[in-house]
Amino acid sequence: MKGGRLSGPALAYIAGASVLAVAVALIRWRSEPAGNLVLFSVITGLGMLAHAYPVQGFRHQAYQVTLPFIVIAAATFSTPQLVAFIVLIHLAEQARLRRPLSIQWFNLCDYYLSAAAAAAVYQRAVQQLPADALGHLTAALSAGCVFILLNRVLLAGALWLARGLSPVASGLFQSELLAADLIITWVAGPMLLLTLQNGPWTVLVTAGPLLLARPALSALLARRQASERPAAARAA
């Protein structure tokens, strides 16, 4: 979403998301042993870098390749670390792009709620699935899918109220973009598994496919925008 005066319903929607995000954080906040600071530093640093350079989409959208780092954070971070991670990646983005604070705050709440849901699904899946490589990969993929779905549902509501874009018109649920997100999510599984087995520094190698995912996503969005311009011109 971009700047501009927000309507009353849009402001109420953002306020509701804010209250829900704070409530979920407080409920999940509990006495936990200190997490792995090296893992937190590596994943957060790479997540900040990925989130600070979004691919600009159409209809007030931006896309990042941050998702694998979010899945790892949801699976391995304590609640305080997960909150700090979400805040820091959005601060990194804000430092570069200077989005309106109300919009950036909503994005932060959206991402935290989606990440908290992904964390809950991952923890539940790990308990139910075999404690082997396939079990962790399946749990990571499940967490990533939950994040994608909830993130887009929350954003679709915001775009509808703030920009008058229906979920269909927003383009958030286009099959090509969902497929791209699922492919990026698939990368999270091996990244998480190798991180758990061999330590956080393996992420520096396993994150390599994301360097290719970003230009591929840029090309996909550019092609989609080009195909929509003639239709928009005919409609006008």
- Which span out of 32-36, 94-98, 224-228 was modeled with the highest average pLDDT? 94-98
Note down the domain range covering 151. Answer: 9-228
How far, in Å, CA of 202 to CA of 191, rounded? 8
| Cβ atoms 203, 191 nearer than 8 A | yes
Strand partners, 63: 55
How far, in Å, CA of 151 to CA of 209, rounded? 23
CATH number reported for the structural domain that contains residue 193 in this entry: 1.10.1760
Q: In this predicted structure, what is the pLDDT of residue 187?
A: 85
Q: Domain for residue 234, yes or no? A: no
**Higher local confidence (pLDDT), 166 or 78:** 78
CA 20 to chain centre: 17
Q: Domain for residue 73, yes or no? A: yes
Q: Domain for residue 236, yes or no? A: no
Q: Domain for residue 35, yes or no? A: yes
pLDDT digits (tens, 9 = 90+) for 178-195: 877 888 888 888 899 898
Length in residues, the chain: 236
Q: Domain for residue 3, yes or no? A: no
- Number of folded domains in the chain? 1
pLDDT digits (tens, 9 = 90+) for 186-234: 888 889 989 888 888 888 888 877 777 667 666 666 666 566 555 444 4
Q: In this predicted structure, what is the pLDDT of residue 173?
A: 80
Average pLDDT (53-75) is 78
